[in-house]
Amino acid sequence: MAFEPVRAASMGLGRWANVLADAALRGGKIELVSCFSRTPEKRAEFMSQYGTREAENFEAFLKDDEIEAVILTTPNYSHMEHIEALSAAGKHVYCEKPIAHTMEHAKKVVEAVEKAGTRLAIGHSARRLSVSRHLKGLIDSGEMGHISISESNFCTERGLELTPDKWRSSPELNPTGVAIQLSIHHIDTFRYLYGPIRSVMARMKRMYATAEVEDSAMIIMEHENGILSYVGAGWACPWAFHMNVHGTKAVAHFRITGQQWRDPSQAPEPIRLHIDREPLGEKTVLDMPEGDMFRDALEDFADCVREDRNPEVDGRVALEDLAVVYAAAESSRLGRMVELKDFL
């Protein structure tokens, strides 16, 4: 039987709405039928680009029965309000990460979705990079040996571009700054690779950001299986995204460019995974399949809507990811390790 595309609408029509709309169009399981923003000009631009219709207000958006699901890219601090309303209206939601900006809001999101019986996917897409999937296979097969430590970093210049009119410049609306915006990507990927996290030790501070938010974070996590993983993040330096995985039989490492992140099909070269087995001996370099993490995450969401099952990153997984961020902030404040269970 042919797959019936999920009729979806985009809400919050900023830059990232276009990224996800383009990703949805690269697949075939989501049909964009409508859009909503409080700004008429943004609605007009989105309609022109993607051929959708519009909702002139949120109430009309909620009552539109043709809309089965919503791709939500509103600011983090408004996720709870929007997801509560959308789920109560019977609409499934794909929400860009993080699930919310506070633990209180995140817990209420999970409660609202579970009460409504709708599906919620959170866009922690880095775990769907082709190289993340390949690493998972190497680790699970034992080819890497026993993993002891892993290292990662994600940096951009966004912290140098913050102005008072941007919500990310507010420590109340964007608590932990770089950690909730960038660190959380690698936090989720390490959770995917190694399982739940037990404890966290971190140092976070503002160095050069043009607003009073943290632009530097160093987070050490101990997983429940004993593996240690490190997540570094910077919001005041050029793009960097890389990861090193250290096992008893091999060390694997990769880095990706901004273009490989956004749309690998447009990148001039593939993501390359380097595997070192001896300091002066065998080395393997693997070109990863093209992949398309945003498309794949959205198509998994569509499958979950049609099959009535939970997405890979549902509200509870995303809640744990956010808990690590808040545990890191508390660790930085106290200057000691903290247990994740205290935040869940």
Q: Which CATH class is domain 6-125?
A: alpha beta
- Residues 99-109 have pLDDT tens digits of 999 999 999 99
Query: Sign (positive/negative) of CA torsion 191, 289, 121, 2?
Result: negative
- pLDDT for 263 equals 79
- Residue 116: φ, ψ to 5°: -75, -25
Cβ-based burial of 136 (10 A; exposed 0-12, middle 13-18, buried ≥19): middle
pLDDT at residue 280 in the model = 64
Those residues of the chain that have pLDDT short of 50 are: none
SS3 category, 182: helix
Q: Is the peptide bond before 164 cis (omega within 30 degrees of 0)?
A: no
CATH of domain 127-291+324-343: 3.30.360.10
3 vs 344: CA distance, rounded Å: 38
Q: pLDDT value at position 283?
A: 84
What does the alpha-carbon distance between residue 174 and residue 20 come to, in Å, rounded to a whole number? 22
Neighbours of 73 (CB within 10 A): 23
pLDDT by residue (tens digit) across 262-316? Answer: 877 788 999 999 999 876 667 899 999 988 999 999 999 999 999 999 999 999 9
DSSP character string of 274-329 = EEESSTTS-EEEEEPP---HHHHHHHHHHHHHHHT---SS-HHHHHHHHHHHHHHH
Strand 120-123 to 92-96 pairing: parallel
CA separation for the pair 109, 340 (Å, rounded): 20
**3-state SS string over 3-18?**
CCCEEEEEECCCHHHH
- Count the Cβ atoms, other than its own, within 10 Å of residue 62: 17
Contact 318, 106 (CB under 8 A): yes
Note the pLDDT of residue 181. Answer: 98
Domain boundaries, the chain: 6-125, 127-291+324-343
